[in-house]
Structure 1
Amino acid sequence: MAAGRLLGIARHDRPRGPMEVLDHVSVSAAGGVQGDFRGAVRPGRKPRRQISLIEAESWEAALADLGRAGDDDLQWWKRRANLLTQGIRLPRQAGAIIAIGDSLRIEVTTECDPCSRMEEIAPGLKAVLLPDWRGGALGRVIADGEIALGDEIRIIE
């Protein structure tokens, strides 16, 4: 079974709030990434975008297409994603299960379509993130876990 690594963790406590980059965090079905405003599940609602993931390879390809490869002003967390993966292709379909570390399990719910906010970050960024799920995947937490940079990532379903 192919495995990748967790390269980055980030969160923001409010819409448009600054991103905080972390080296470890708790993630739960009740609250998503601890301290991230998107993770809390509202009563009577099914979480669809509780956590977001993006591949380092997709981010780098998008920046290369934009002509900004290696640009220190465009760090991965500017995409507003929670988790940065490396060395594994994230599933491109809803229902797939991603395992991170010992116990965290995330069910993919949909593609993370880049929004107009990406244009505020860099002109043309939205367009280069559109092909082949380059903007990442959204999911819901189905099993809680503690995660840290360097943890193994596997696709289990």
Structure 2
Amino acid sequence: MTGRIAGIARHAFSKGPMETIDHVRVTLEGGIAGDFRGAMKGKPYKRQVSLMEAGDWDAAMAEIGHSIPWEQRRANLLVEGLDLPQIVGARLHIGADVVLEVRDETNPCERMEALAEGLRAALTPDWRGGVLTMVIRPGEIAVGDPIRIEQ
């Protein structure tokens, strides 16, 4: 099954505003170019690139009765048409070159509750908050690129 990248976002510093972009370089050292989280170090670090499903965001919005732009979730990539794997070690292939490896679930933080009451809880079940990944193979990605689970 193949989905597509529906959005790309990044933030240059901690708690900084999210910037949506159409295309970006993904590197082994820094994740999404220009994104604060991708270059962070630490052990174990498992948060270079975060992804979330558009359908999960829509479901959370419906549950709380709001319409907040997806990038306010602070995820790097918005995915349509693909159920992201909920298995550590699963690999995602994006566009021609990029490969990401799932390292963990994205646990919604208190910032989600600041956006809208109930949002943190709405993003909690069934990995609805998204997945955290590390870059295995770098390259360029763009909105519209295919994304699939590597077998």
Q: Do the structures match in fold with TM over 0.5?
A: yes
Query: Are 2:96 and 1:105 equivalent residues in the alignment?
Result: no
Distance across 1 between alignment mates of 2:72 and 2:103: 22
Supply the AA of the counterpart residue of 2:23: H
Of 73, 76, 89, the match for 1:82: 76
Which residue of 2 is the match for residue 59 of structure 1? 57
Instruction: Report matched runs for 1:118-133 at 5 Å.
Output: 118-133=112-127
Fraction of identical pairs, as percent: 53
What is the TM-score when the length of structure 1 is the normalising length? 0.93
Shift of 1:67: 1.7
Gaps of 5+ in 2: none
* Count of residues in Structure 1 that have an aligned counterpart in Structure 2: 151
Match for residue 19 of structure 1? 18
Shift of 1:125: 0.3
User: What is residue 37 of structure 1 aligned with on the other side?
Assistant: 36
Q: Which amino acid aligns with 1:4?
A: G
AA of the residue aligned to 2:56: S
**SS at 1:39 equivalent:** helix
Aligned partner letter, 1:109: R
Q: What is the CA RMSD across the aligned residues, in angstroms? A: 1.1
Letter in 1 for 2:97: S
Q: Shift of the alpha carbon at 1:109?
A: 0.2
Aligned equivalent of 2:8:
9
Would you say the 8 A contact 1:6–1:152 is kept in 2? yes
Runs of 4+ in 1 over 4 A off after TM superposition: none
Q: Which digits, 9 at most, give the CA deviation of each residue in 1:47-77, with x for residues without a partner?
A: 3001100000000011111122xx2xx0000
Could you tell me which amino acid in structure 2 is paired with residue 64 of structure 1?
A
Distance 2:136 2:44 in 1: 12
- Determine the C-alpha separation between the residues in 1 that align with 2:40 and 2:149: 24
TM-score by length of 2: 0.97
